[in-house]
Structure 1
Amino acid sequence: MELEANIESSNEQGKTSFLKTLFNGTNAIIGVGILSMPYALASGGWLSLILLIAISGAACYSGLLTKRCMDMNPKIKTYDEIGEYAFGKIGKTVVSIVLYVDLYLVLTGYLILEGDNLHNLFPKMNIHFHGISIGGRQSFVAIVAVSLLPTVWLDNLSILAYISATGVLSALVIIGSILWVGIDEVGFHNNGELFNWKGVPTAMSLFMFSYSANPVFPTLYTSMQKKHHFSKVLLIGFLSATLCYISMAILGYLMFGSTIQSQITLNLPIHELSSKIAVYTAWITPLSKYALMMEPVAATTESWFPKYQKNRGFKILLRTIIVATQVIVAVTVPFFGSLMSLVGALLSATASITIPCLCYLKISKNSRRSVESLFIMLLILLSIVIVGLGTYTSLRSLIKDTIRHHSH
């Protein structure tokens, strides 16, 4: 779930202009999922682009439903409050858990991504310490985590908002540099498969992972000056993100065909300047999102210890422990594609489609049309299919990859 939210809402509620919200919204929707788009397309074949468009539409419509839920009770400011308004305390708890686990795993995925890309740039890197040898990828995961720690200790989100503004720009730079590699070096010679039924669950999960910004929308909506324009922000944001994703998927698939790796940056001829630009930009992108996405996870964890919640030293210690646990998970499960498709299947579909649809059905039971109810039920069914099929497939490939990795 890409959580590059507009954070101005905390101190300037309802003062953000249309353009700023549009930029923040698009930034929230376009995430690191862009790197796995060609791999997703290669998994499902050309026809799976229809799935990408369908999931984009479903996530956008669910975003509009989130806005409608908030309109029904002006006191609602956050995503879990929608759950509470619809289903009481249980609703709030379930929504909070889904969000917490989803964000935690996405952050772990960022560390894996950083480790992979840096290891690709500096393949000879190894750390030897008192007779213990640490591999290059694991070393980079740890180094990146340590360098991110100071940003995680900040709990002033308005400072972090400046860091997160690079999101949209970096997506465009990555697409541009991949196009440059294609024209200059690799060419576009692969025809690819029309449809690969076996790979559809993986494709579906990765597409879903790339459209998981829904929990950010309440923050954006609350911050907006002219709230009636929010639907326009969502439509333009989703359209822009989908065009970026489709461009990246088609470029990567035409360049590398079925040999594409889980992140396109791992396929690039690293000696080329264009490749280096793509890899470095891909490296910067998660850095601009990590601390911001960590904030809800850290705040939730801190709330479990109400006695120490205001203690600065305790907060720093707790946030450091959370990052340390993510490093352990990232080193143990070093498979970005499998982890991201698992997160996409199990949690992103639940957070971005199932929850908004169920909450809206419950809250608006007296005021909606029956045709719309039927459509919303179909969306819930789609999200359940993604959760079921995708979780089974990605868990299976994650276990297989882990066993293979440890046997080497």
Structure 2
Amino acid sequence: MLKNGANYSVQTGSEYEPIGEESRPLLASQGVQARGASFWSSAFNLMNAIMGSGILGLSYAMANTGIIGFSILLLVVSSLAAYSVHLLLLLCDKTGVNSYEALGERAFNRPGKIVVACTILIQNIGAMSTYLFILKSEMPAAVTGFMSTETSGKWFEDGVALLILVTLIVVLPLALLPKIGFLGYTSSLAFFFMLFFTVVVMVKKWSIPCPLPVNATVNLSAYAVPTMAFSFLCHTAVLPIYCELHRPTKQRMQNVANVSIFLSFVVYLISALFGYLTFYTHVDSELLKGYDTYLPRDVVVISVRLAILLAVLLTVPLIHFPARKAVLMLCRGDREFSWLSHVLSCFFILTFVLLLAIFVPDIRNVFGVVGSTTSTCLLFVYPGMFYLRISSEPVRSLSSAGAVLLMVIGLFVGVLSLCVIIVSWVQGP
């Protein structure tokens, strides 16, 4: 177990043994990073896991809930996300396990481990496929936007060709890295791309003489809360980042999570606010599309579109890490690190995800169902359920009440969003 703020543990067979600083060389030989990732490297990785293309839809959520309603909901969801991370770290500290799957095993034996691993795998494959689908759809327009003359029939206008190219050149080398801490540099770059997007949205608010009327009507959208919940999902990456953190204590990792969630909250709120104040209730579900009407071929808008695509691209390897870990745990159990298994699982996952992004015509709706179930389970339901199952706290304690609240909210949001998606399918566009 974690003790005295300096030790951490690994699982050996069915026992959980405390590991101190003197055992770092042994851990390094077993594939565990000796020095550990820095605080800010870990924070950037977690922020990259939190923020993705979902930032484009938050202005639309604000248009449906109002500024005050959106701000309150965003604060509540971010606070619940931080609290569920707190429960995961508390359980990790209490039991000595170092993975989400191992917590499932500790709570419900092997079936719990398999269910959690499958949930992580489905969630992350869905997220990666959606991100690659976005890249396939948006990259040709982003690239040709920089061309001064009209182009036709060029290879870079083919979204599939561009997608395969960037997957081989960017995603594959980063996904092959054995440790998630190595992605800290690319994660910091992705975060600054998000900051660039936020600054551009703020600036363009004052440069667009938007003729659209202000509509102060507040309409609570059933999509708003699920969108916010999915925008703060980072829990599959929390424990891998925790394991590789330098001086890995619960409080230090909680500080990493708090900083990451707070900075993500600020970026989300500012970008959503200024995007909404630019277009009001006429804001598009994908914010950048609105700028195409008023600022066609604007270099700054084209640049920020490309920056968002690059941020999404750099998020894929980070999401790939927990998915690969789940595959290896399902196939190999808790065996020692093997480069052969590592490489084969990496190629299998990326190939499968790439084929989904290329051949499934409307992947967003398909994985919307997956997201409404697996995302809410990982964000709300599992942390609360595992805490109630593992913790020795009385049922009427404050922590147990918080765990119950997480479960109730997760079930409500998941069922609601799934019903909304099904109804939208039935009603049509």
Deviates more, 1:147-156 or 1:80-89: 147-156
Structure 1 residue 352 displacement after superposition? 1.3
> Does residue 349 in structure 1 map to residue 370 in structure 2?
no
Q: Which residue of 2 aligns with 1:97?
A: 118
Q: 1:204–1:388: structure 2 CA closer, same or farther, 3 Å change rule? A: same
User: What letter corresponds to residue 315 of structure 2 in structure 1?
Assistant: K
Q: 1:195–1:185: structure 2 CA closer, same or farther, 3 Å change rule? A: closer
From 116, 136, 140, the counterpart of 1:115: 136
Q: 1:321–1:93: structure 2 CA closer, same or farther, 3 Å change rule? A: closer
Structure 2: distance between partners of 1:395 and 1:13: 48
Q: 1:305–1:377: structure 2 CA closer, same or farther, 3 Å change rule? A: closer
Q: 1:319–1:207: structure 2 CA closer, same or farther, 3 Å change rule? A: same
> Does residue 71 in structure 1 map to residue 93 in structure 2?
yes
Q: Which residue of 1 aligns with 2:314?
A: 288
Matches within 5 A, 1:8-407: 11-12=32-33, 15-46=36-67, 47-74=69-96, 76-121=97-142, 122=144, 136-137=158-159, 140-148=162-170, 150-151=172-173, 154-157=176-179, 159-185=182-208, 187=210, 191-197=214-220, 200-222=221-243, 223-225=245-247, 227=249, 228-268=251-291, 269-301=295-327, 312=340, 319-331=346-358, 338=365, 341-366=368-393, 370-397=397-424
Q: 1:61–1:311: structure 2 CA closer, same or farther, 3 Å change rule? A: closer
Contact kept in structure 1, 2:226 and 2:413, CA below 8 Å: yes
Q: Which residue of 1 aligns with 2:25?
A: none
Can you list the C-alpha shifts for 1:379-406, whole angstroms capped at 9, x where unaligned? 21111011001012124446777xx7xx
Structure 2: distance between partners of 1:209 and 1:186: 33
Contact kept in structure 1, 2:100 and 2:239, CA below 8 Å: yes
User: What letter corresponds to residue 406 of structure 2 in structure 1?
Assistant: L
Q: Which residue of 1 aligns with 2:20?
A: none
User: What letter corresponds to residue 231 of structure 2 in structure 1?
Assistant: S
Q: 1:135–1:384: structure 2 CA closer, same or farther, 3 Å change rule? A: farther
Q: 1:236–1:230: structure 2 CA closer, same or farther, 3 Å change rule? A: same
User: What letter corresponds to residue 307 of structure 2 in structure 1?
Assistant: T
Give RMSD over aligned pairs: 3.5
Structure 2: distance between partners of 1:160 and 1:22: 11
**Secondary structure at 2:208's aligned position in 1?**
helix
Can you list the C-alpha shifts for 1:213-244, whole angstroms capped at 9, x where unaligned? 01222123332416233333322322221111
User: What letter corresponds to residue 134 of structure 2 in structure 1?
Assistant: L
Can you list the C-alpha shifts for 1:256-275, whole angstroms capped at 9, x where unaligned? 23443332223323411220
Q: Aligned pairs, how many?
A: 386
Contact kept in structure 1, 2:380 and 2:410, CA below 8 Å: yes
Structure 2: distance between partners of 1:231 and 1:299: 22
Q: 1:196–1:339: structure 2 CA closer, same or farther, 3 Å change rule? A: farther
Contact kept in structure 2, 1:62 and 1:356, CA below 8 Å: yes
Structure 2: distance between partners of 1:400 and 1:10: 52
Structure 1 residue 28 displacement after superposition? 3.3
Structure 1 residue 252 displacement after superposition? 1.4
Between structure 1 and structure 2, the one with the greater Rg is: 2
Structure 2: distance between partners of 1:41 and 1:10: 45
Structure 2: distance between partners of 1:73 and 1:146: 40
Q: 1:50–1:135: structure 2 CA closer, same or farther, 3 Å change rule? A: same
- Structure 2 unaligned spans of 5+: 1-27
User: What letter corresponds to residue 32 of structure 1 in structure 2?
Assistant: S
Q: 1:362–1:300: structure 2 CA closer, same or farther, 3 Å change rule? A: closer
Q: 1:282–1:212: structure 2 CA closer, same or farther, 3 Å change rule? A: same
Structure 2: distance between partners of 1:72 and 1:281: 41
Structure 1 residue 317 displacement after superposition? 6.3
Q: Which residue of 1 aligns with 2:4?
A: none
Structure 1: distance between partners of 2:303 and 2:46: 25
Structure 1: distance between partners of 2:66 and 2:369: 20
Structure 1 residue 164 displacement after superposition? 2.6
Can you list the C-alpha shifts for 1:296-343, whole angstroms capped at 9, x where unaligned? 323444566669x9574x866664453343344334555576467545
Deviates more, 1:280-289 or 1:99-108: 280-289
Structure 1: distance between partners of 2:217 and 2:416: 21
Can you list the C-alpha shifts for 1:56-92, whole angstroms capped at 9, x where unaligned? 1111100111111011122x11111111112211111
